[in-house]
Amino acid sequence: MRRLIVSTAVALFVIALNADGFAAQNLPIPITECGEIAQPGKYVLENDLTLPESEQGNGVGGTCLVISASHVKIDLNGLTIGLECLPHTYCPSDLGAMGGTGIDITTGADHVSISNGTVDDYVYGIVGEADHLSVTKMNLRAVVGLTLDDVSRSSFTDIAYEGADIDYHSANGPILYLNGGGKNVFNNLSGQVGSDLGGPNGIEVVNSNDNLISGVSLENVSCGGTDIQLSDESRSNIVTGNNLFDDCGSGIQLQMGSTHNAIVGNTVVVASPPDVYAMFDENPDCRKDLWMNNTFSNIFAAGEVSASPANCIH
């Protein structure tokens, strides 16, 4: 009996050691400086990250985090990816965005998750070229918020955008630029785009299919831009439940060849000349695009539906 009790105690001690070792192996790997993440795993920021001044190039160079491995999960832990600003130099807010890219997810780095933090004062907030990405609860202060190339089956939720170079009077926007890929979800994106030198679009979808864009709250404060634009044969996309305002441009636009899209339940207000519309479909007779249960208006044409062609609306 005594031998059995001793054996049990030893066994429990060994199990405890193994459990501690297993727990240690599953703790997130700390990130304390800019660099490349080339191994799968869970990561967490332990402090704000700053891109050194030597790697900044007045808006053309420098990337803080490069993710080149698949199956990476990063918790920014409420912290910020920013820039070094030395006393003898102008701060980015004086000259415009200084850093190139805050976070770069390279081609083939699939199944990457990024959440809970801020990217501040970069030309490109987050750049993605992989599939099965998840980005959520992020604040992006950048010229372009999300830049996605051939990204598919990914989710981008609760993204708050702010332009990075308002004092520099350059273009701020779009919040989202998506080229190629498809079957992505974009939900609860918000922010203001615009410039006094031209009108950037709020959201641009180029040659991409089967995406869902919903819950967007967007204001465009410059002339010439479009709040949401689908172009180059972007098909079978759903644009729904968005609240858009354009100070001098157009609202939702489908360019020629972008067909079979569903534009449902959006509220779009523009303050534009009469020939600039809150809803505009370049396809003859809308070519199987569905426009349903939307509100399109121009504050300079009270009581009129700001749409072309108006017979597309159901």
pLDDT of residue 96: 57
Segments in the chain below pLDDT 50: 1-23, 59, 88, 92
Contact 59, 53 (CB under 8 A): no
pLDDT of residue 141: 92
CA distance 230 to 237: 9
Q: Do β-strands 243-254 and 295-298 pair in parallel, antiparallel, or remain unpaired?
A: unpaired
pLDDT of residue 126: 98
Three-state SS letters, 217-246: EEEEEEEEEEEEEEECCCCCCEEECCEEEE
- DSSP for 63-104, please give it: EEEEE-SSSEEEE-TT-EEEE---TTS--HHHHS--EEEEEE
CA distance 117 to 231: 31
Q: Give 161-193 pLDDT, tens digit per residue.
A: 998 865 555 668 999 999 999 999 999 999 999
pLDDT of residue 1: 28
pLDDT of residue 18: 45
CA distance 182 to 159: 19
| Domains, the chain, with CATH or none | 28-312 (2.160.20)
Contact partners, residue 180, CB within 8 Å, separation at least 6: 149, 150, 151, 206, 207, 208
Backbone angles phi, psi at 128, to 5 degrees: -130, 140
CA distance 311 to 33: 56
pTM for the whole thing? 0.88
Q: Give 50-76 pLDDT, tens digit per residue.
A: 988 777 765 456 899 999 999 999 999
pLDDT of residue 254: 95
